[in-house]
Amino acid sequence: MASRFLLSLLLSLIALSRFSTVTAYNQGVGLSPQFYDYICPKAQEIVRNVVAQAYAKDPRIAASLLRLHFHDCFVKGCDASILLDSSGTIVSEKRSNPNRDSARGFEVIDQIKSALEMQCPSIVSCADILAISARDSVVLAGGPNWAVPLGRRDSLGASVQGSNNDIPAPNNTLPTILTKFKRQGLDVLDLVTLSGSHTIGNSRCTSFRQRLYNQTGNGQPDLTLDQSYASQLRANCPQSGGDQNLFHLDPVTPFKFDNQYYKNLIVHKGLLSSDEVLFTMSKDTMPIVERFANDQGSFFENYVKSIVKMGNISPLTGSNGEVRKICRRVNHK
């Protein structure tokens, strides 16, 4: 009798927990790593498996998925607006200058969403898929692991103007970049830390060409760029043409998430101007670069804090937004 009573009590508690989780899902009580534990317990496993399969075929995908999360969060918050295709009144953020011809990984997100819809229809948001896949990409590339706060919902629109204006550009000055970070509630430490995402991934010739030939409009190269490295870059990044030619952001360990990025900055081999200025243009950012170059553990520890902080930018929760069934378009009403 006692055992039957205990079993009944346990089942009641499980049911109550399930109800509380669903209630939180509907009402919005902030983000939590346990958000899907009862309503879609295999959610993170499904994301991890699809990302791992994509990474095995193409290691570049890790940087691409991480970049999608970053470019999503800096425009109207982390709401999967970057995933929407143009339709009706929506002009896709994929057409913006930061994303056009460079944002990729959308097909992987589609695969993840399709698998999740089979397991848990209309439960896991596309915004949360971006956050989880970014974490899994970093881990696959050898970086730190972290618990991803979850419970975001998806936007009903996009902002190509916000994408053009709010995402830091490779040629922005350091004050401009810092201003764009501060608008999102991120500080100098977050800026230097999250810039370390460039330890993996590629950049196009068009994003740094001016450093090789005409940095300030006087026909001279950027002298903060190691000139032997600049000569190597010119071989495949001519003064005209070759705009889409790709170069490793970190030529030393291009597919490994580590602190080599910061070591590169110290020897003036940061590929983008927006990277190198962290070491050359500010007494506030230089010591952080030096610390991370000397202590990978410190970089990893701060990276976890900063990317979770970034993932908390203006999420839609409760009855705001929706959970898209297909990440590329809003649900039909």
Q: Give the residue numbers annotated as catalytic, written as ranges.
A: 71
Confirm whether residue 37 is marked as ligand binding: no
Confirm whether residue 199 is marked as ligand binding: yes
Which of 277, 279, 296 is closest to 288 using CA atoms? 279
CA pair distance 58, 55, nearest whole angstrom: 5
Confirm whether residue 75 is marked as ligand binding: yes
Helix 126-140 to helix 61-73 angle, to the nearest 10 degrees? 140
Which of 311, 264, 313 is closest to 303 using CA atoms? 311
Per DSSP, helices labelled H in the chain are: 2-27, 43-57, 61-73, 106-119, 126-140, 160-166, 174-183, 188-195, 209-213, 227-234, 260-266, 273-280, 286-294, 296-311
Which of 91, 94, 110 is closest to 102 using CA atoms? 94
Confirm whether residue 253 is marked as ligand binding: yes
Confirm whether residue 317 is marked as ligand binding: no
| 5, two tokens | 């009573």
Q: Residue holding tokens 């705001």?
A: 320
The count of other CB atoms within 10 Å of the CB of residue 15 is 11
The residues, any chain, with a CB within 8 Å of residue 323's CB and separated by 6 or more, are: 122, 123, 124, 125, 126, 153, 154
**Is residue 255 within 8 Å of 138, Cβ to Cβ?**
no
Confirm whether residue 179 is marked as ligand binding: no
> ∠ CA 63-73-117 to the nearest 5 degrees?
75
Confirm whether residue 159 is marked as ligand binding: no
Burial degree of 11 (CB within 10 A; 0-12, 13-18, 19+) = exposed
**Is residue 188 within 8 Å of 285, Cβ to Cβ?**
yes
Confirm whether residue 81 is marked as ligand binding: yes
Confirm whether residue 206 is marked as ligand binding: no
Confirm whether residue 128 is marked as ligand binding: no
| 262, two tokens | 């910061």
Confirm whether residue 79 is marked as ligand binding: yes
Binding site members = 72, 75, 77, 79, 81, 93, 168, 198-199, 250, 253, 258
Binding site members for substrate = 168
Binding site members for heme b = 198
